[in-house]
Amino acid sequence: MNTCLRAWLAGTAALLAACAAPARRTPAGELLVAVAQPLTVPGDVAGNIDRMAPLVVEAARRGAGLVVFSECAVTGYDHKGAGAAAAAGLDHPALRRIDGLAAAHGIAIVAGLYERLDGKLHNTAVAFLPDGRRVVQRKHLIMDPEKKAAPVVPGPRERTPFEFRGFRIAILICADAGIPGIFEEIARGGGDLVVLITAGGGSTSMALRQADLARPDVRAEYAAKSAQCLSKESIEQAIRLDLAQAACNQMGWDDASGYYHGGGSSIIDRTGEVTAVIPYRLVLEHLGPQLAVGRVSRRPGAR
């Protein structure tokens, strides 16, 4: 059995049993957001949605109005092309299951996938809204490692913001956070929240095993890197632009293919308050399904 799948089977039940926090009533002008990290398997569209589903259920139970999954959470993202080979059109029947989860639980779901459109390959994010609408954003900046793995073409630079529960929300896909001035443009356009989905990682050569921590030098490196789970620049930017951010990174690994993403997600309110964090997992044995819920707020007087 795939090592990632074994960890999912062991971890999902534990996650849902452990998440005993009661659902919160969200005050006006606030939105509870969840960042969710199932164990993603490149190429396994149906299985990836299976692993997303219990996290959607738990996010809704805890009062979240929006749950954010990673870049290419549906297809997987890897440097050998397995995720891209599973690219789907937005009319793919499997995506209707995500529509159904959003409707059944009254929650908006943002998730990424490789998309086939008019014979071309895109790295795409979709917001599945509870009323059945979808909002689509395609990645603009395609970096060299991704180009080498698959012939991904860039989407438009312009964002397609959407309104949800009084919040104006824009989506950025990984490298698109590096588009010059993009956060400032979103803020000037009345944005309240940026959803940033990523798939940082790439190879098991970047990860550690539990046994490696027996070495003092590795242990010291591990401790230093584990503490770096938040971007100081993102916190400063949230305050400066009065703009909240929910960032979600992919998690998963497979020894056979060498695929690895260590997760690492956060929610930062416009005030600079960090309201949720899932630390980056550097040790393969530490990977397992993760969910965190945090609050974001609108500017006083906004909508």
pLDDT tens digits for 67-81?
999 999 999 999 888
In tens, the pLDDT along 170-205 reads 999 999 999 999 999 999 999 999 999 999 887 888
Domains identified in the chain, total number: 1
Residue 141 above 80 pLDDT?
yes
Q: How far is CA 72 from CA 7, 48, 229, in A?
A: 20, 10, 21
* Residue 174 within a domain: yes
The enclosing H or E element of 277 equals strand 274-278
Q: What is the DSSP letter of 107?
A: -
Give the pLDDT confidence score for residue 220 in this predicted structure: 93
Host domain of residue 101: 3-17+31-297
Residue 29 above 70 pLDDT?
yes
* Residue 223 within a domain: yes
19 pLDDT band, cuts 50/70/90, is: very low
* Residue 128 within a domain: yes
Q: Which pTM value belongs to this model?
A: 0.90
Mean of pLDDT values over 213-220: 95
Residues 6+ apart with CB under 8 A from 59: 34, 36, 67, 107, 291, 293
**Strands 30-37 vs 66-68: parallel, antiparallel or unpaired:** parallel
Give the pLDDT confidence score for residue 84 in this predicted structure: 94
Residue 132 above 60 pLDDT?
yes
CATH number of the CATH domain containing 106:
3.60.110.10
Rounded Cα distance, 100 and 265, in Å? 25
Give the pLDDT confidence score for residue 263 in this predicted structure: 94
* Residue 169 within a domain: yes
* Residue 138 within a domain: yes
* Residue 22 within a domain: no
Residue 275 above 80 pLDDT?
yes
Please give, one letter per residue, the 3-state secondary structure of 132-170: CCEEEEECCCCCHHHHHHCCECCCCCCCCCEEECCEEEE
